[in-house]
Structure 1
Amino acid sequence: MNDLTAHYPGRWWHKLADGRIQCDLCPRDCKLRDGQRGACFVRMREGEQVVLTTYGRSSGFCIDPIEKKPLNHFYPGSSVLSFGTAGCNLACKFCQNWDISKSRDMDRLMDQAGPEQIALAAQQAGCASVAFTYNDPVIFAEYAIDTALACRERGIHSVAVTSGYIHAEPRREFYAVMDAANVDLKAFTEDFYFKLTGAHLQPVLDTLVYLRHETKVWTEITTLLIPGHNDSTAEIEALCKWVYSELGPDVPLHFTAFHPDHKMLDVPPTPPATLSRARQIAIAQGLHYAYTGNVHDAEGGTTFCPGCGEVLIVRDWHRILTYRVTADGHCPQCNTRIAGRFGHYTSAFGPHRIPVRLQPNL
């Protein structure tokens, strides 16, 4: 598509008997009359179709360490070209990127870039991956899919940072072109999801089970622990038991710190002790890889060998301090296979985010 300012024909919708069109991308099932936008704001009925209004338009591009996504077992130390658009299909009261994800101001979409242009920029910058992040790529799935296909042509991996709130058919098509995903499992109660995100828990669990058992997508999970809302020992135990029984012990689980934002400014930041407690619960439930995030915690960021307990990768926030995994993904001490995607490691990209501007198409 050459005109990136035009609305892109959307997929996954059908006409209803009453004349409305239902968007079938996510479980919100928005039913639209002409000119109406869905809950995500970026998918709109235009005549007799649903269109994506943000195809080719980004809120900005940055080069990040892969650990920032967070992905600790997907080519550690590598760099990733990250971008998002605007809008979101959840309504999280605690959103940490609300100025992007809840924006209805299209002027925030400052950069225009087509899929091939993004793939070329990643290759020229030496990035191993492109990440669809900052807001949920589910809502710009057509753009993300096309970009992932362009990246695949250049040997660049594609990473989805997502809440996993998507219907089965688009889920198959979306993840068929992804290499890795970090899924936000925001809590482990329906009450939390309904009251604080305006969504439901089960579709997210369905996405995680699908990713783990029906795809080759490398998957990690992030849970933002919010004091008084999803940080009880009982809920964390239940979450970890579910991950162990339904996904297995090798899916990395990140517990990250909340800071007051958006509509939850009255809730205090997450104490580091809460993250450490959650990590210990995960380990006690049999998970091999549990991490803390958004805090300086070398132990909580360290990858230990599940076979012999050897220290393999030491991290402080997004900085790698020690790296000892073999190129083929084994512990050098006992040769236990370390779950993930690994390669030849020389040095880490580093902890810093580097904003970049893509040149406009000629």
Structure 2
Amino acid sequence: MAACQVCFRHCSLSEGDIGFCGARTVRDGKVIAYNYGKVSGLALDPIEKKPLNNFFPGSYILSVGSFGCNLRCPFCQNNDISWSEEARIFAEDAKMVSPEELVETALDTRAQGNIGIAFTYNEPLVGYEFVLDTAKLAKERDLKTVLVSNGTAELSVLAEIVPYIDAMNIDLKGFTDEYYDRLLGGSRKQAMDFIAEAVKHCHVELTTLIIPGENDGEEEMREMSAWIHGLEVANGKNIPLHISRFFPRFKMTDRNATDVRKVYRLAEVAREELEIVYTGNC
């Protein structure tokens, strides 16, 4: 048996087993990224779509996704590649893209305003080895590397990759342990520890999707924004917060989209502590 050390789950795996995330396995007694180089999506996006509004605004970035995720959000927008049976089938047939090939593709789109590569769509940290190998090459070619993540990873993983990461958008999905445990199957503490460390090393913006009846309380937002402000003071930098509107999808079609007035009100609450607050999907 071998224990995966990427996130709080520490999956104990036998040879050939697949971890909870669907993206890690054991080969020759060693835990490796089963999804290494297996690309499920590639698109040239405005940087603001990540969303990163305060990192080279107006530029474009090559977005790349693989498959696998270590959370189980019932409102997932990319469940088909994150944790579906289709993702496992895709894994068997996908052609591997090397870090060198991905960097060359990014360089080919520089004339279209591309500044680098964003690892997104699924959870990139469950295959952090591919992120690391690609980001090292990208830095050599003066390309930026962006991570769009749920922040559910050990600090040892962050320590490996962060010297090569220029910016992150990290989901802070809510601010209670109950929400993370019951709805997402995650660890709020691990996400918060990851964010607190990442802010020390690169540009970080945060996103919170507001789910009606779940994480939409004003007091919760007040506590969250106060915590973020504490990080700002400690690190001498602003941390933009994106407060985003939920739409019914996947396994969460039992409620309406978030009331736009609620999103705007929570943004007002967040601005009691934070200078830079955006509203999304409104």
For 2:129, the equivalent position in structure 1 comes to: 142
Corresponding residue SS for 1:134: coil
Identity %: 37
- Structure 1 segments, 4+ long, off by >2 Å, are 103-112, 246-249
Output one character per residue of 1:159-216: Cα deviation in whole Å (capped at 9) or x when no partner: 0000111112111002121000000000000000000111110111101110123x1x
Output one character per residue of 1:38-71: Cα deviation in whole Å (capped at 9) or x when no partner: 1101101233111222111110200000000000
For 1:263, the equivalent position in structure 2 comes to: 251
For 1:16, the equivalent position in structure 2 comes to: none
Residue 160 (structure 1) aligned with residue 147 (structure 2): yes
How many angstroms apart in 2 are the aligned matches of 1:269 and 1:230? 13
How many angstroms apart in 2 are the aligned matches of 1:246 and 1:158? 23
Q: Does structure 1 retain, via aligned residues, the 8 Å contact 2:244–2:281?
A: yes
Match 1:246 to one of 220, 231, 251? 231
Structure whose residues are more often helix by fraction: 2
Output one character per residue of 1:198-252: Cα deviation in whole Å (capped at 9) or x when no partner: 1110111101110123x1x100000000010001111111111111123347100
Alignment of 1:227-242 (within 5 A): 227-242=212-227
Corresponding residue SS for 1:128: strand
Corresponding residue SS for 2:258: coil
How many angstroms apart in 2 are the aligned matches of 1:77 and 1:180? 15
The answer for unaligned runs of 5 or more in structure 1 is 1-19, 296-362
**Structure 1 residue 111: deviation in Å?**
5.5
Residue 121 (structure 1) aligned with residue 121 (structure 2): no
What is the letter of the counterpart of residue 250 of structure 2? Answer: H
What is the letter of the counterpart of residue 66 of structure 2? Answer: T
How many angstroms apart in 2 are the aligned matches of 1:45 and 1:30? 11
How many angstroms apart in 2 are the aligned matches of 1:130 and 1:76? 15
Residue 187 (structure 1) aligned with residue 187 (structure 2): no
What is the letter of the counterpart of residue 208 of structure 1? Answer: I
Match 2:50 to one of 58, 65, 69? 69
Q: How many residues align?
A: 273
What is the letter of the counterpart of residue 76 of structure 2? Answer: C
For 1:108, the equivalent position in structure 2 comes to: 90
Larger Rg: 1
Corresponding residue SS for 1:90: coil
For 1:272, the equivalent position in structure 2 comes to: 260
Residue 28 (structure 1) aligned with residue 9 (structure 2): yes
Corresponding residue SS for 2:271: helix
What is the letter of the counterpart of residue 185 of structure 2? Answer: G
Q: Does structure 2 retain, via aligned residues, the 8 Å contact 1:60–1:111?
A: no
TM-score, length of structure 2 as denominator length: 0.93
Backbone CA RMSD of aligned residues: 1.4
How many angstroms apart in 2 are the aligned matches of 1:83 and 1:252? 23
What is the letter of the counterpart of residue 34 of structure 1? Answer: E
**Structure 1 residue 98: deviation in Å?**
0.9
Corresponding residue SS for 1:135: coil
Q: Does structure 1 retain, via aligned residues, the 8 Å contact 2:138–2:144?
A: yes
How many angstroms apart in 2 are the aligned matches of 1:78 and 1:111? 29
Corresponding residue SS for 2:32: strand
**Structure 1 residue 107: deviation in Å?**
4.4
Q: Does structure 1 retain, via aligned residues, the 8 Å contact 2:22–2:88?
A: no
Corresponding residue SS for 1:155: coil
Output one character per residue of 1:272-329: Cα deviation in whole Å (capped at 9) or x when no partner: 11111111111122x110000122xxxxxxxxxxxxxxxxxxxxxxxxxxxxxxxxxx
What is the letter of the counterpart of residue 230 of structure 1? Answer: N
Corresponding residue SS for 1:64: strand
How many angstroms apart in 1 are the aligned matches of 2:187 and 2:276? 26
